Structure 1
């Protein structure tokens, strides 16, 4: 068995040496070579009868490396079992002796490693007397009415208006475009019918069309008709030209209005409520307004909690100034990540260290509050996520059995499971912290709340602590 010698440098750093003698690996080496002998079929020898000397010469170094690696890994794992607070992975010490791996050598093999430890600390800053601002936003009655109106428009279908009605903002217009040269129709020029949306048109074109009716005409530069449209898109989508058609097109066109359609708000009947909110969920305008307020409040609460969580993070990190084995961690990052250079690690290390410190504090908080996530909660989280994908109005299309089966399949995705675990722990953690501290509620508009989130994200992106109001 390999000999392990540990040396404590300081509370955050440990070095250890693994000595592997010939006797430690000889038995395993002979056993592996015998396996090779049974399987080897070399020219001039019957299968299983190859001389051991020939096998040692041909495969000895390869088998020795494998056996020594296994012995070394056993020893390293033994050290890690005895060091529950290790961080990262062991890395070769800078003064480790050069390895001379030779199947014919009788010298002992010596490996030296460095290992970092997490700091041992008592959590500070959970005093109940500390106060945090808690920004709250609510959807006003007027905003809820505006959102309901938007849904009535969004779910509506265009309706053709009477020919004697004036064009209004937001209308959909079908026109026939005629190519002109010098103010007259071009001989063998383009004549093509297409549809345009008032909201997509250049401002000056919109102003010219407002008040026009079916049968009226306007003259435009076809390539400047819409905002943010390329010449290729004009030729293809407005003029109906194939990509192979390379004819020169005059910019001057006369557009004659053939039809005007308008999207009118849907009537608030049961068909509308079922389509937008789900079958038999809402039956009146009052219920729709109440539902919208409640749904938006969920989103606002998530955003408010994110801002509060950020403030508490900053406070707890100030109260718990943790030292890390910085030199070890920088070396470990360079060795463990192929694309990491010393320069890049130096540049990014503060972000990494800040995130690591918060992880250590967060783990302490989870243990302090005795938080846990049950399998049932995890599965319910997947079900809720899938329901959000399909939307409230399609909820009736998914039976509970279908949702449960889909959740079971998603539970086999390790990455997704870890993400949901972290989200659930964070949700429970923020709730525990809200009950710990005094919150001074401050009402803001939804727009102000969103601005605060964006400002916080901009500040924290450089520091490794990024908010996400969707979490």
Structure 2
């Protein structure tokens, strides 16, 4: 077997593969012997079919498959061993590659077009100044978190008179045109409502100051703006029946409950952060602020990498790519979308490819490596952030690890986590090398940068 690479220009080459009979014969014979042992052909005992018949029936297909497998294996080895910086995949050269006839040929030649990555240099040193945005943790954000924790740890007390955001429970009954309970109409015992979430202010006002045992008359369809899901849930009817219910209902108040937030005391502090981690309201708020700042740091690092991308993309300028060949590869990967899709999206794909090549150089230059432990830690951090969204910060390490391991069973999750781990390490390395122009911004100002 002989493989050779001939450069056509700086960004494309021809890869020629010559395969002789000696390269594949042993493997083909071995496969055919296996076929013979397993073949079940009428008139012959199993394993006793003449090899000539096996070759006649299966020889061509086996030869084609083994030659193809051998070619792919050796081409991949050649590209790896010779460090060919190839883009995409090898594509058959229609002009130079002759038709293959597995019936008559013993030696085969395959010629492929190869897209090569352009040569350039991208690096970050202390001579490079890049903006780094630190997001301020506003007092109102801390207050929102404090409120969330006190509400989550709060309790519901029964009260005598309704106030906004209270929950009421009672007997719901459909009325007729005269305001009497409708015979055969809808009745729901133990119906639960929070008038705060009604869409109509006039209907909502009917419940202001209501007391236990009061009987109120309201219109559910108007109150909830004919929302099928809300009305079917409240009235215990099917969604398709909602349109027929337009009249008034009575509601006899049986119970009013009010959520009473938990006090800012040691019990709450321990519940949120673990026993004796914080011992005062001041420490509690400081710990919350610290947690928000950590979450914001990930956003700051993401923006930093995007700014590095813009900075280096401008520095390397417009790179030369084998456009015709890359468009062929793109079309092959998107056959169902056609040439119009390629024409519309090619330039954007080149922008992404340019950044991919720049990032690969940065990863290699900074010796970024991601181990299994890094991926597991990233999965645990992602799990921790998910729990944090629901106010659950004091999660046992064993639970985090179990959730993380479940996440790692999904291929798409692993790929995403590996990429995040790489970018996290890369951001840390580049922050050490670049001269950072620190800027402090509010969350609103930061978000506007992405609009």
TM over 0.5: yes
Q: Distance in 1 between matches of 2:188 and 2:65?
A: 75
- Return the match for 1:141 from 109, 131, 139: 139
Query: Cα distance 1:206–1:366, how it changes in 2: closer, same or farther (>3 A)?
Result: same
Contact 2:221 2:246 survives alignment (8 Å): no
Question: 1:164-179 counterparts in 2 under 5 A?
Answer: 165=161, 167-179=162-174
Q: What's 2:69 paired with?
A: 70
Q: What's 2:449 paired with?
A: 452
Structure 1 counterpart SS, 2:449:
helix
- Cα deviation, 1:89-140, whole Å, max 9, x if unaligned, reads 211112244534233x14643322111111121226x353444443333223
Q: Which moved more, 1:282-291 or 1:45-54?
A: 45-54
Contact 2:273 2:394 survives alignment (8 Å): no
Q: Distance in 1 between matches of 2:127 and 2:242?
A: 76
Structure 1 counterpart SS, 2:256:
strand
User: Per-residue deviation at 1:192?
Assistant: 3.5
Q: Does 1:54 align with 2:53?
A: yes
User: Per-residue deviation at 1:40?
Assistant: 3.4
Q: Distance in 2 between matches of 1:294 and 1:394?
A: 13
User: Per-residue deviation at 1:146?
Assistant: 3.8
Query: Cα distance 1:396–1:68, how it changes in 2: closer, same or farther (>3 A)?
Result: closer
Contact 1:333 1:340 survives alignment (8 Å): no
- Cα deviation, 1:429-452, whole Å, max 9, x if unaligned, reads 222333333433333322332343
Count of matched residue pairs? 444
Structure 1 counterpart SS, 2:206:
helix
Q: Distance in 1 between matches of 2:344 and 2:239?
A: 49
Q: Does 1:326 align with 2:320?
A: no
User: Per-residue deviation at 1:13?
Assistant: 0.5
Q: Does 1:354 align with 2:346?
A: no
Q: Distance in 2 between matches of 1:23 and 1:376?
A: 46
Contact 2:203 2:219 survives alignment (8 Å): no
Q: Distance in 2 between matches of 1:416 and 1:287?
A: 36
Query: Cα distance 1:74–1:374, how it changes in 2: closer, same or farther (>3 A)?
Result: closer
Query: Cα distance 1:245–1:38, how it changes in 2: closer, same or farther (>3 A)?
Result: closer
Query: Cα distance 1:55–1:239, how it changes in 2: closer, same or farther (>3 A)?
Result: closer
Query: Cα distance 1:12–1:177, how it changes in 2: closer, same or farther (>3 A)?
Result: same
Structure 1 counterpart SS, 2:175:
strand
User: Per-residue deviation at 1:262?
Assistant: 1.5
Q: Distance in 1 between matches of 2:171 and 2:28?
A: 87
Q: What's 1:427 paired with?
A: 424
Structure 1 counterpart SS, 2:58:
helix
Q: What's 1:185 paired with?
A: 180
Q: Distance in 1 between matches of 2:257 and 2:61?
A: 78
User: Per-residue deviation at 1:22?
Assistant: 4.6
Query: Cα distance 1:305–1:394, how it changes in 2: closer, same or farther (>3 A)?
Result: closer
Q: Does 1:272 align with 2:268?
A: yes
User: Per-residue deviation at 1:201?
Assistant: 1.0
Q: What's 1:101 paired with?
A: 101
Q: Does 1:225 align with 2:220?
A: no
Q: What's 1:92 paired with?
A: 92
- Return the match for 1:281 from 277, 283, 286: 277
Q: What's 2:126 paired with?
A: 128
- Normalized against structure 1, the TM-score is what? 0.82
User: Per-residue deviation at 1:185?
Assistant: 0.2
Query: Cα distance 1:27–1:273, how it changes in 2: closer, same or farther (>3 A)?
Result: closer
Q: Distance in 2 between matches of 1:46 and 1:142?
A: 85
Structure 1 counterpart SS, 2:204:
helix
Structure 2: 5+ residue stretches without partners: none
- Normalized against structure 2, the TM-score is what? 0.85
- Cα deviation, 1:388-434, whole Å, max 9, x if unaligned, reads 455585746444xx766776786676654443332222122222333
Structure 2 counterpart SS, 1:209:
coil
Contact 1:179 1:250 survives alignment (8 Å): no
Contact 1:65 1:101 survives alignment (8 Å): no
Q: What's 2:312 paired with?
A: 316
Structure 2 counterpart SS, 1:62:
helix
Structure 2 counterpart SS, 1:219:
strand
Query: Cα distance 1:387–1:151, how it changes in 2: closer, same or farther (>3 A)?
Result: closer
Contact 2:215 2:250 survives alignment (8 Å): yes
Query: Cα distance 1:229–1:281, how it changes in 2: closer, same or farther (>3 A)?
Result: farther
- Cα deviation, 1:177-233, whole Å, max 9, x if unaligned, reads 333233420441444442211321122222333344344444322212225621x65
